[in-house]
Amino acid sequence: MLLESESSVDVSVGISDIEVIIFENKPRVMTRAGLGFLIGASAGALLGFMYGSDEPSGIDDADRVSRSASKKALTLGAFFGLLGTLGGGIAGAFEGSDEIIFMEGKSELEVKNVLDGLRSKARLPDHY
């Protein structure tokens, strides 16, 4: 059974009548970007706290030179969170791309291999 794209009705068709199979995947950009942000921000904050507070250098305006552990954690957390968001968004864009299988012109062996691959992904693999 296939879902016909124009009428959204389940139809049965012969294998020889199929020219193209398209798997439309939902984009996962936002999910992966959010996960990347959480991982990056957590790693950056942990790194900032690990470096700890700087000791004042004894130079005038020591507040500008030294940073506390919490300021480092905030800065590094924001920076690594941004990097994680970009990396996760890019990964999610590639993960959600559509898969297209051209059936027209394939030999019987190639069609059998494609069908075996599709059966392994099916919800009911033994139902055909």
Q: Give domain status of residue 108, yes or no.
A: no
Q: Give domain status of residue 77, yes or no.
A: yes
Q: Give domain status of residue 44, yes or no.
A: yes
Question: Residues near 111 by Cβ (< 8 Å), separated by ≥ 6?
Answer: 15, 103
Q: Give domain status of residue 115, yes or no.
A: no
**Domains in the chain: how many in total?**
1
Do 21 and 110 form a contact (C-beta atoms < 8 A)?
no
Q: Would you give the DSSP letter of residue 2?
A: E
What pLDDT tens digit does each residue of the chain (128 aa) get? 555 566 667 767 777 777 787 777 777 889 999 999 999 999 999 998 898 877 766 665 545 556 788 888 999 999 999 999 999 999 988 887 777 888 888 888 888 888 888 777 777 666 55
How many angstroms separate the Cα of 28 from the Cα of each of 31, 39, 84, 86, 112?
Answer: 5, 16, 15, 13, 31
Q: Give domain status of residue 117, yes or no.
A: no
Write out the residue range of the structural domain in which residue 85 sits: 25-99
Q: Give domain status of residue 1, yes or no.
A: no
